[in-house]
Each structure stands twice: as structure tokens, then as C-alpha cells.
Structure 1
Amino acid sequence: MLNRVQILFDPLVRLLLLAILLASFLPVTGEGRAIAQGVSNTVIFLLFLLNGLRLPRAEVLRGLGNRRFLLPLVLWVFAVMGLAGWAMADLAGRALPASIAVGFVFLGLLPSTVQSATAYTSLAGGNVAHSVVAAATLNILGVFISAPLIIWLANSGVADGNVGFDIGALQRIGLILLLPFVIGQILQNWFGSYVAAKAHIISWMDRFAIAIAVYVAFSSAVEQGVWTLIALSEWGILLGIVGVMLAIGFGGSWWLGGALRLELADRKAFLFAGAQKSIVMGAPLATILFPPEMAGLALLPVLLYHLLQMVISAPLASRFRSSQS
């Protein structure tokens, strides 16, 4: 019970709930949407610049050498979970709006979240070094892998969804995600230590950037009538399919870690890196990749998954820890 209360008071969860509430009652529309999108793009640029500054190149390179751990994890996160998301999108498309169904493709292909995967691995007594390197590497690969695969699968006819693959989407990804990350990596030797010293402030900047992206995306969903478009029974279907994705993510990654005969500490790191999905990548990518009228609805499965993965991870990590004592 205490873990669930702590989750509700998690700063990022509170900001996400506030962004959804604000968008529900005061959505940005009309001419204001272009201004809000510009602000969102600016903070996303800053977010990925900071990511580039603080992800140590040496650790990532060391992690790339641990192929027995990293290669199966990459295949699990982007191939197996991606196919699971595609299958769930096909299922969801029979009962839910197409924009929401495509969101399951989006969910399946996202990388894991760096901060919480590492935190829960530490709480569970897992291999924190492996977790940090794996999550960081997955997020770097996600910039290059997630967007093209999302575009390809979403345009493959699933749920009659259409992301609208065009050169403009690739340009936005390059300018808003890739360029600032590369700049951050280049400037890391000069400013990396400063960013590390201001970790608390930087963490809040991250959270506000994500909340702004969610607000802009969800405003479009409210304008499309998300609260009237989806009936109560359909919310139940949406939660049920998200639950299936959670079962695949957590159950499958734990089983695969065992099948690979990883040591227990490595298996725990594999579990949290393989099962969790990143709202840090998801919210900005949704606002860049999807049309405004589609972004908020496509983000719904990710928002629900993110909240529920924390509800699962906290007691699970605590149970792992208590079993060692």
C-alpha cells in the first residue's frame, strides 16, 4: 500500500496528471496550438541536449561490449515487444479508435526509461551498472530505431492507422532529437561535469519538458473529444490490452533472462530494462511523429503503461530486496 501511495506522489506522475487535467479543462487550440507546439519543440530540444551531455560515452561503449546481456535485450525491446505492440494494435483496432490502436505499435517500440529502470534495479539488488548502460544504450538506439519502425508498422495497415510518412517527419526527428543529442555528446567534456553537479535541477527540467509535451499532445486529444469518443466499456478494453502488454513485458523479460542463464543480479537488471517503457522518449516523439489530431490519442497507451509499470515495479523490487535479507 505504501509503495502505491509513494507512486502517486512521484513528481513526474504528479506533473503528468496535472498536464492531463489542465489539457482537459484548458486545452490549447487554434492559433495558440502553433505557439504551444513551438514551445514544446524547444523544451524537447533542450531535453535531448541535456541527455547528450550526461550520458557518459565511456559507459555506453563498455555496455556495447557486453553482447551476451545487451544483444538479447535490444532484440527483446525493439523486436519482440514491437511485434507484441503490433499484435495488440490489431486487436485494439477492432474495438477502439484507430489512433489509439496505433498507439500500441508506438508503445511496443519505445526503449526503456533510464531513471526508473535503474532505480528499481538498485532497489531490487540488481546489477546497477548493467542497468545504467543498458537503458542509456537503448535510448540512444531508440532515436534511430523506434521512429522508422513506428512509421513502417503504423503504415502497414494495422488498425487502418496512418502516421503519414514523409520527409518532414524525418527532418523533425533529426533537428529536434538527433541534433541536440549529438551536440550534447560533443560538448560533454566541457559541460558534462556541470550538468552532473546540477542533477536535481536538471531532473526537474526533464519532468517539465515531458509534462509540456504531454499537455500539447493531450490538448489535441481533448479537442478531438477523447472523453466522449471513448465509452466507459472501451476504457476497460484499453486497460485490459495495456495489462496484456505489461504481462508480456515483465513476464517475458524475466523468463528470457532465466533462459539466458544470467546471474540473478543481471537478470533483475534485464527485467526492469526490458519491461519498462520510456515516457521521456514517448511524449516528445509523439508530438513530433504524429499529426496534432492524432498525437494525444496515440499517447494514451503509453501514459497508462507508464503509470502501471510503476505500480508493478515498486512492490516487485521491494519483494526482490526482502527475499535477499
Structure 2
Amino acid sequence: MSRLREFADPFLLLLIAMVVLASFLPARGEGAYIVGILADAGIVLLFFLHGAKLSRDAIWSGARAWKLHLATLGTTFALFPLVGLATQQVEAIPVAMRAGLLFLTLLPSTVQSSIAFTAIARGNVAAAVVSASFSNLLGIILTPLLVALLMQKGAGGTGGLISLSAAEGIVLQLLLPFILGHLARPWIGGIVERRRAMLGRVDRGSILLIVYSAFSAAVVEGLWQKVSRGELLLLALLSIAILAVVLLFTWGLARLLGLSREDAVVLQFCGSKKSLATGVPMAGVLFPASAVGPILLPVMLFHQIQLMVCAILARRYGKVANEIEN
């Protein structure tokens, strides 16, 4: 069962269920308004909890392994966006889905799965915690800035998708709740640590609501009439190609920098992953409701692909490490 969970993330199955529900029973009219308000509240709650979970010690200790962390951040926020810009030349898929591919490449790294795969691969878990946390912390500022810089310029024709109130939304729904959550950590940090499982369900419940709201608006606008099976297949192939490029790059960069095997594992897993948990609420803030659904399709697809591929790699690296030790 544990191996099955590595390949078919139950949470992703719930996300797919929300897409199916929105496809057949989309929120309309007054219902859509109420769901939208609840989704906005979910975004605020998500980033408040993200701020409360991040310890100050983790932030300050990040400066120690600066070479590893700079390499990871460079891969996440420089290489990935360049690859994303290259995908905008593929005109065989709709403009909104190309926008989703570019948006995907601008997101920060995951935290939980990056650390989990690093542990399975017998890598430097402490460095993975810091690297992934740094990526998410900086992503709150860097991702919106990269969206404004690269997508506002109309890469792939996506410039018109960014709402004029995005800056206000970033501050009020992302940055301010994150800061308040982090400032409140001395008082609520203990509760957050003790109730991680329960708060994790709150996190995921909020994301499910945001996805339902986003895809409801997209379905009402005729999403599935605009996307073919062939376009979805091409999207999957492009996602695989993006991941392959980054995995090969991080492997070569680790050798070039002379990183230890343990740190090389961190660079590969933290540098090649993209956060669905951060991407879903950010998309809800940065883009109009009708555009969020197709933009999130590549993010959800890449999420599952990266889990499957990294699960295979992590087990292989861990097996090799055990053989070396024995």
C-alpha cells in the first residue's frame, strides 16, 4: 500500500475528484460567489499556517550551506523559468495551458515530498529541510515578481491573463497572512507542531476548495470544449520533458560544484520539484477566476509526474547507498 501511495498520491486523486465534480456540477451564480469567498479565505488560512510552520532557526541556518542552497534556488527560479519560456513556442496547445506551463516553472519547490525523497535516497535531510523552506519563503515574493515580469510581457500570449488587482491580492492574501503567521509562531508554534496532522487536513481541504472554485469558473466558460485529448497528451509529454531537463541539469551541476553525494541528492530533489500547495492558492490570487482552471492543469499534471519519477530515483539512490555502506 505504501508503494502504491508513492505512485498514486491520494491527495491528487481528491484533486481529480474536485475537477470531475466541477465538470458536472460547477458552482454558478450565488453559489459561485459563496464558493469564491470561501476559497479566498482558504488562501489566507493556507499562508498564515505556512508562516506559523516555518521556524526562525531554519531561516538563519540556511546561510551555512550557501553553495548548495544557491544552486537549488538558481535551478528553481532561473533554469526552470528559462525552460518555461521555451515551452511557449509550442503552439499546438491552447494559450491558457501554455500560460499554465510557464506559471508552473515559476513556482517554489515542494517541502514535504522533497524532504521525504531525500530521506529515502539517504541524502542530507537537514539541508533538504532548509533548502525547501528557503525556496517556499522566497517564492512568496519571487513567484509573483516572475509572473509579472515574464507573463505580463506576453510570453506565449499570456500577458492579458493577469488581473489588475494582483498586487493587492499578493499583499493581503499571501504576504500579510504569512508574516502574521510567522510573527504568531511564539504563541501558536507549539499548537502547530502538535496538531500537524489536523492542520495538514485543513491545508488540503482549503486547496480542494480552491481547485473546485477555479475549475467551476473554467467549466462555466467552456474549458472542456476548448481542450482536446491530444492537447492533454502533449501537455503530459512537455511536463515529462521539463522534468527530464531539470533532473539532468541538477545531476551535472552537482558534479561541477563538487557536492557530496548527500548534498547532490538534495539539489536534485529540491531543485526539480514544484509546489502544488503553493501554486494553487497563488494562481487564485494572480489570475482571473475563468483562467485559473486551465492554468492549474499543468501544475496538477506535473505534480503527479514528479512524484512517480522521484519515487523511482529515491529508491534507486537509497539502494546504491546501502550497497556502498555494506
Tell me which of 268, 273, 283 is aligned to 1:271: 268
Q: What residue in structure 1 maps to residue 30 of structure 2?
A: 31
Q: What residue in structure 1 maps to residue 12 of structure 2?
A: 13
Aligned partners of 1:147, 1:21: CA distance in 2, in Å? Answer: 29
Aligned partners of 1:106, 1:253: CA distance in 2, in Å? Answer: 21
Q: Which deviates further from its counterpart, 25-34 or 82-91?
A: 25-34
In structure 2, relative to structure 1, the CA distance for the partners of 1:246 and 1:25 (3 Å cut) is same
Matches within 5 A, 1:1-325: 3=3, 5-7=4-6, 10-91=9-90, 94-165=91-162, 168-325=165-322
Preserved CA contact (<8 Å) 2:96 2:291: yes
Query: How far does residue 35 in structure 1 lie from its aligned partner after superposition?
Result: 1.6
In the alignment, structure 2 segments of 5+ residues that lack a partner are none
Q: Which deviates further from its counterpart, 283-292 or 211-220?
A: 211-220
Preserved CA contact (<8 Å) 2:7 2:311: no
Q: Which deviates further from its counterpart, 10-19 or 124-133?
A: 10-19
Query: How far does residue 27 in structure 1 lie from its aligned partner after superposition?
Result: 1.2
- TM-score between the two structures when normalised by the length of structure 2: 0.94
Which amino acid counterpart does residue 206 of structure 2 have in structure 1? A
Query: How far does residue 249 in structure 1 lie from its aligned partner after superposition?
Result: 2.3
In structure 2, relative to structure 1, the CA distance for the partners of 1:234 and 1:166 (3 Å cut) is closer
Which amino acid counterpart does residue 290 of structure 1 have in structure 2? F
Preserved CA contact (<8 Å) 1:110 1:282: yes
Which amino acid counterpart does residue 114 of structure 1 have in structure 2? V
Which amino acid counterpart does residue 9 of structure 2 have in structure 1? D
Q: Match of 1:80, SS?
A: helix
Q: Which deviates further from its counterpart, 97-106 or 148-157?
A: 148-157
Query: How far does residue 281 in structure 1 lie from its aligned partner after superposition?
Result: 0.7
In structure 2, relative to structure 1, the CA distance for the partners of 1:164 and 1:302 (3 Å cut) is closer
Which amino acid counterpart does residue 307 of structure 2 have in structure 1? M
Q: Match of 2:52, SS?
A: helix
Preserved CA contact (<8 Å) 2:39 2:213: yes
Preserved CA contact (<8 Å) 1:89 1:103: no
What are the Cα deviations for residues 207-232 of structure 1, in whole angstroms up to 9, with x where unaligned? 11111111111222222333231122
RMSD of equivalent CA atoms: 1.7
Query: How far does residue 15 in structure 1 lie from its aligned partner after superposition?
Result: 2.0
In structure 2, relative to structure 1, the CA distance for the partners of 1:120 and 1:95 (3 Å cut) is same
Query: How far does residue 41 in structure 1 lie from its aligned partner after superposition?
Result: 1.0
Query: How far does residue 172 in structure 1 lie from its aligned partner after superposition?
Result: 0.6
What are the Cα deviations for residues 114-138 of structure 1, in whole angstroms up to 9, with x where unaligned? 1111111111111111111111111
Indicate the percent of aligned positions where both proteins have the same amino acid.
35
Query: How far does residue 163 in structure 1 lie from its aligned partner after superposition?
Result: 4.4
Aligned partners of 1:214, 1:61: CA distance in 2, in Å? Answer: 34
